């Protein structure tokens, strides 16, 4: 790759962007005007509004059914509230309150707390949902707390007790936080969200223009026939997006910084000792670079895939929405950074930001955040370059994929897009219906309903509806004896390897103890080992294999067998909706996919899946037995020595399976 | 205003005497510059199977020759040209441009190729000079050389008036000239024009036609595609008839006339279509 040519592309793209008035306005001019307007205008308005509200006061209906000197004290304190007016509580008060003529109703009654102790029971009726209601309750509370003290001290004096007793407990609050830290906390909540949003929205505008825009304006082909390599084009465009997004972020921050400083000085808040933490910003900009590059490459992929800018902008929407949701994590007070969260893009930056702002972050988290984002980033760039080299993507035309057409040409259903739609729908069904099924008392029934109604039945119905041949589509074929013999030797070591992967996951992100408890609960759903075996080994074996290896596999075969296996394994892993098992199930999905597509028989993967789940039940049920004690160090951990023999047996059996299912022999067998 | 429509070649500007690609080979007049054999391009279809856009195409084009790829819309002209310019990868078969393999030496092929299609877009926010310079740099040409090439082409295409204007403000004729200049900035020995006059008004298409003639005069090998019989008749030294991805005929106009007994290219084309339909009788309903 010639970096010089990539730079040529980069320089030209920047030149073009900065000549575009629209982009110039949204990236540079708008933020410069927007923040001062928001901050100065908004804060002025806020102060004014609060003032106006207090001046307006409120009209309250009051009734005092006690009417002694103390209740009158309470009333006196109420009357002392500025701008508040009172009227006698009557029969029409309720109506007046509903018509909003009066803003509140206060009644004072007496009540008996315990024998001999009387109390003043005050009820305040107000509307928390209105500004006036909130102002009212705040003022009234202040009045009551002053009144309360006076009343109690009067009561004590009546009984001949000194009112000094009221001060027997004195609470003194010592707040050790500095202005600086408080400022950091507020900034840490708002800024990450703001910066991530700015980064992605500005990158999205540019990215859509860079490839989809070129397709739309018919300049892409010219670029492709010139003597520039495709990865040079990608690199040039990718740098453009990053640069632009960064310029936007920096200008925004700059404008924000000055507006805030102005606002602080205007509002008379003690600004001495309060600084905007600049070195924190330095660290964050550094951490933002990998995120910017990640966004850039994902957005560039979207732009490459899209036929025109409008399409690119609509495909960008889901990414923007996910990013907004993830970035909002900084608003949740209880969530703090840990090693697992440091691996989730956007979330990691958002939390790191928060920690840096109050100067309370760990270097390991910073490194994990940057490191993991770089890894995703490299993957995303690789994907983008691959996409850019794929003719079918670069010169994508609209297919006739209407329902009508599917009926006519059944095969047209099986394309990756519909595969994704089907998977998403199943996932949603699992999330909503599956939870519903399994929330009842009978977990066993719920699990079985989920397997049959959500996973298996829709596939069979669709096959029926479209009049497809189930045997052919789902690859229902008896495997040869050789394959059947090899299956346990492949599956059981694989199960142990998967368990080992799980252990490794546990090392990096500690799996909570509740998780194991939950798993154990599933094993205990039935005391009958046969029912247990049927419901969590055989049934998932059949249903899940029909969905993933039978049905979904068909949608991805055009892209080659390897990709079909990888995609279905990915779906299989996501379908379990369990972050801790993501990697282990993905591995298992790869194996099961291979078994089916290699042998041309789904029976293999059904059996393998059943053996895998069955072995897990067996291991849990006979945890105390001698065999299990040799395999397992404790209930969750297998012994390390297991790994080498497991890998060897797995590999050898797999090679034998691969040989036994060689295409040539396949032909002979048929 | 008329200046940009009037292509005056009277002053006969000179191209640099030797382009790099011509220097390193020992190519003479009549050398094969485009060699295509058994070229096949299949596109996967959603409903399974493949669509053969280019079906076993073979032909050659020589230095100083204008070859026309003639066929109706969807005949496979554009796909063939995209294969030759390495935008697409062939499914099977191969081709060479100036002796460079389109599969293995894509970069070299593109360096020796000028490509222009009728619906080419331009970067509207760039000035004409910036646009041409950008592509010059992408071809790896030094800035000083680009400068002198632009001066030559400005004279050739009469672009002086608008060279430093933003492309957005240019007329369609001016834009076409900028595109032409872009396609020859690297002085390639082979030019490929994909439907270069499609959608252009008469005067602008005349510019293109004289430009193609001029390329031939300078010893370039020109391959152009069109569905316009008249244009093919007027320009081409040799005509390659293509239909449904297959080559129907490949000869000079004179030879085609002799072979078919028809004078008009339209009639010659229909003659070969009928022959093809006759060969595959069952499929005749497709016409």
Per-residue pLDDT band for B66 (boundaries 50, 70, 90) equals very high
Least confident span in A362-376, B4-18, B117-131? B4-18
Residue B45 confidence (pLDDT) above 80: no
User: Pick from B119, B126, B137: which is nearest to A16 by CB?
Assistant: B126
What's the pLDDT at B8? Answer: 38
Residue B215 confidence (pLDDT) above 70: yes
Provide the chain A residues 17-46 that lie in CB contact (below 8 A) with chain B: 19-20
User: Pick from A225, A226, A415: which is nearest to B46 by CB?
Assistant: A415
Calpha distance A153→A165 (Å, rounded): 9
What's the pLDDT at B283? Answer: 43
Per CB-CB distance under 8 Å, the chain A contacts of B43 are 392
How many angstroms away from the CA of A557 is the closest CA of chain B? Answer: 10
Per CB-CB distance under 8 Å, the chain A contacts of B182 are 222
State the DSSP code for B162: G
Beta carbons of B220 and B211 less than 8 angstroms apart: no
Q: Which residue has the tokens 């895998």?
A: A612
Beta carbons of B66 and B212 less than 8 angstroms apart: yes
DSSP string, A130-175: SHHHHHHHHHHHHHHHHHHHHHHHHHHHHTT--GGGGGSS------
Residue B15 confidence (pLDDT) above 60: no
Per-residue pLDDT band for A608 (boundaries 50, 70, 90) equals very high
Q: Which residue has the tokens 């804060």?
A: A43
Q: Name the closest residue on chain B to residue A10, using Cα atoms.
A: B134
Calpha distance B180→B201 (Å, rounded): 16
Lookup: tokens for A500: 């080992």
Calpha distance A294→A179 (Å, rounded): 35
User: Pick from B124, B130, B138: which is nearest to A226 by CB?
Assistant: B138
Stretch B124-136: mean pLDDT = 95
Calpha distance A92→A89 (Å, rounded): 8
What's the pLDDT at A245? Answer: 87
Provide the chain B residues 60-99 that lie in CB contact (below 8 A) with chain A: 82, 85-89
**Strand pairing class (B113-117; B66-70):** unpaired
What's the pLDDT at A270? Answer: 53
Stretch A487-491: mean pLDDT = 93
What's the pLDDT at A417? Answer: 80
Q: Which residue has the tokens 């193609």?
A: B212
Task: Say how many Å lie between the first and final Cα of chain A, rounded.
Answer: 49
CA dihedral B48→B50→B51→B54, nearest 10 degrees, is 170
Edge to edge, the sheet with strand B100-101 lists B50-62, B32-44, B92-97, B100-101
- In this structure, the number of other CB atoms found within 10 A of the CB of residue A85 comes to 12
What's the pLDDT at A411? Answer: 65
Q: Which residue has the tokens 């400005």?
A: B154
Global model pTM greater than 0.80: no
Per CB-CB distance under 8 Å, the chain B contacts of A214 are 121
Beta bridge partners of A64: A108
C-alpha angle A373/A376/A378, rounded to 5°? 105
Q: Do B138 and A5 count as a contact with CB atoms less than 8 A apart?
A: yes
Q: Do B124 and A399 count as a contact with CB atoms less than 8 A apart?
A: no
What ipTM was assigned to the predicted interfaces of this complex?
0.83
Lookup: tokens for A285: 């900009």
Beta carbons of A426 and A575 less than 8 angstroms apart: yes
Calpha distance A641→A639 (Å, rounded): 6
| Greatest mean pLDDT range, A341-355, A583-597, B271-285 | A583-597
Q: Do A225 and B124 count as a contact with CB atoms less than 8 A apart?
A: no
Among residues A309, A276, A290, A212, the alpha carbon closest in space to that of A246 is found at: A290
């Amino acid at each position: 790759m010639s970096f010089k040519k990539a730079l040529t592309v980069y320089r030209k793209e920047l030149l073009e962007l900065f000549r575009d008035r629209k982009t110039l306005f949204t990236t540079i001019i708008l933020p410069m005007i927007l923040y001062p307007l928001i901050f100065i205008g908004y804060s002025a308005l806020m102060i004014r509004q609060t003032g106006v509200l207090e001046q307006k006061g409120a009209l309250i209906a009051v009734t005092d059914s006690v009417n002694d000197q103390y209740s009158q004290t309470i009333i006196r304190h109420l009357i002392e509230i500025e701008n508040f007016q009172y009227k006698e509580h009557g029969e029409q008060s309720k109506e007046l309150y509903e018509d909003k003529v009066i803003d509140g109703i206060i009644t004072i009654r007496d009540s008996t707390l315990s024998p001999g102790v009387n109390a003043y029971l005050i009820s305040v009726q107000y509307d928390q949902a209105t500004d006036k209601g909130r102002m009212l309750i705040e003022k009234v509370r202040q009045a009551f707390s002053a009144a309360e003290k006076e009343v109690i001290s009067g009561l004590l004096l009546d009984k001949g007790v000194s009112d000094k007793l009221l001060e027997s407990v004195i609470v003194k609050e010592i707040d050790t936080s500095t202005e600086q830290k408080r400022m950091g906390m507020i900034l840490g909540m708002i800024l990450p969200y703001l910066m991530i949003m700015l980064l992605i929205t500005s990158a999205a505008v540019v990215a859509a223009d860079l490839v989809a825009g070129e397709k739309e304006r018919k300049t892409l082909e010219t670029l492709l026939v010139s003597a520039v390599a495709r990865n040079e084009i990608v690199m040039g465009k990718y740098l453009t997006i990053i640069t632009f997004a960064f310029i936007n972020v920096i200008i925004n921050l700059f404008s924000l910084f000055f507006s805030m400083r102005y606002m602080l000085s205007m509002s008379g808040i003690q600004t001495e000792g309060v600084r905007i933490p600049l070195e924190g910003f330095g660290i964050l900009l550094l951490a933002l670079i990998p995120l910017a590059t990640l966004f850039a490459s994902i957005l560039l992929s979207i732009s490459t895939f899209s036929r025109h800018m409008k399409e690119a902008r609509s495909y960008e929407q889901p990414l923007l929405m996910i990013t907004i949701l993830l970035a909002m994590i900084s608003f949740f007070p209880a969530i703090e950074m840990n090693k697992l969260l440091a691996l989730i893009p956007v979330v990691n930056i958002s939390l790191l930001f928060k920690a840096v702002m109050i100067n309370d972050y760990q270097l390991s988290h910073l490194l994990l955040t940057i490191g993991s984002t770089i890894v995703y980033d490299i993957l995303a760039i690789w994907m983008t370059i691959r996409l850019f080299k794929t003719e079918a993507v670069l010169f994508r035309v609209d297919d006739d994929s209407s329902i009508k057409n599917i009926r006519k040409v059944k095969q047209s259903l099986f394309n990756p897009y519909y595969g994704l739609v089907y998977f998403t729908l199943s996932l949603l069904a699992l999330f909503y219906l599956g939870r519903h099924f399994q929330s009842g008392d009978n977990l066993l029934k719920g699990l079985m309903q989920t397997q049959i109604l959500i996973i298996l039945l829709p596939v069979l119905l669709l096959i029926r509806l479209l009049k497809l041949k189930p045997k052919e589509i789902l690859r229902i074929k008896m495997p040869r004896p050789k394959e059947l013999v090899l299956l346990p030797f492949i599956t059981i070591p694989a199960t142990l390897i998967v368990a080992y992967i799980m252990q490794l996951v546990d090392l990096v992100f500690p799996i909570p103890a509740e998780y194991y408890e939950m798993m154990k609960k599933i094993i205990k759903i039935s005391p009958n080992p046969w029912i247990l075996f049927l419901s969590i080994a055989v049934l998932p074996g059949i249903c899940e294999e029909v969905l993933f290896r039978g049905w979904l596999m068909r949608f991805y075969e055009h892209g080659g067998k390897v990709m079909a296996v990888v995609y279905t394994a990915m779906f299989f892993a996501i379908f379990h909706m369990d972050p801790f098992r993501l990697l282990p199930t993905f591995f298992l999905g790869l194996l099961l996919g291979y078994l089916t597509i290699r042998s041309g028989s789904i029976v293999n993967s059904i059996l393998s899946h059943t053996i895998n789940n069955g072995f897990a039940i067996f291991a849990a049920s006979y945890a105390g037995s001698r065999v299990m004690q040799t395999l397992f160090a404790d209930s969750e951990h297998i012994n390390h020595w297991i790994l080498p023999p497991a890998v060897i047996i797995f590999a050898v059996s797999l090679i034998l399976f691969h040989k036994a299912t060689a295409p040539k022999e396949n032909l002979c067998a048929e | 205003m008329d200046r940009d429509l009037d292509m005056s070649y009277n002053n006969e500007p000179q191209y640099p005497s030797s382009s790099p690609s011509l220097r390193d080979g020992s190519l003479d007049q009549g050398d094969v510059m485009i060699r295509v054999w058994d070229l096949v391009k299949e596109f996967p279809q959603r409903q399974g199977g493949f669509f053969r856009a280019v079906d076993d195409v073979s032909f050659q084009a020589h230095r100083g020759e204008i070859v026309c790829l003639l066929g109706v819309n969807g005949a496979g002209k554009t796909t063939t040209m995209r294969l030759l310019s390495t935008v697409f990868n062939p499914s099977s078969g191969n081709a060479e441009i100036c002796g460079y393999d389109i599969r293995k030496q894509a970069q070299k092929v593109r360096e020796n190729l000028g490509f222009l299609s009728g619906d080419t877009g331009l970067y509207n926010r760039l000035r004409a000079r910036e646009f041409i310079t950008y592509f010059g740099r992408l071809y790896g040409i030094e800035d000083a050389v680009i400068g002198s090439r632009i001066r030559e082409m400005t004279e050739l295409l009469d672009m002086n008036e608008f060279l430093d204007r933003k492309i957005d403000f240019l007329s369609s004729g001016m834009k076409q000239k900028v595109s032409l200049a872009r396609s020859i900035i690297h002085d390639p020995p082979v030019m490929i024009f994909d439907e270069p006059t499609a959608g252009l008004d008469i005067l602008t298409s005349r510019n293109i036609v004289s430009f193609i003639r001029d390329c031939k005069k300078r010893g370039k090998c020109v391959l152009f595609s069109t569905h316009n019989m008249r244009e093919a008749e007027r320009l081409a030294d040799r005509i390659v008839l293509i239909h449904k991805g297959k080559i129907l005929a490949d000869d000079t106009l004179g030879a085609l006339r002799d072979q078919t007994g028809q004078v008009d290219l339209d009639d010659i084309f229909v003659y070969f279509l009928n022959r093809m339909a006759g060969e595959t009788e069952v499929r005749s309903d497709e016409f």
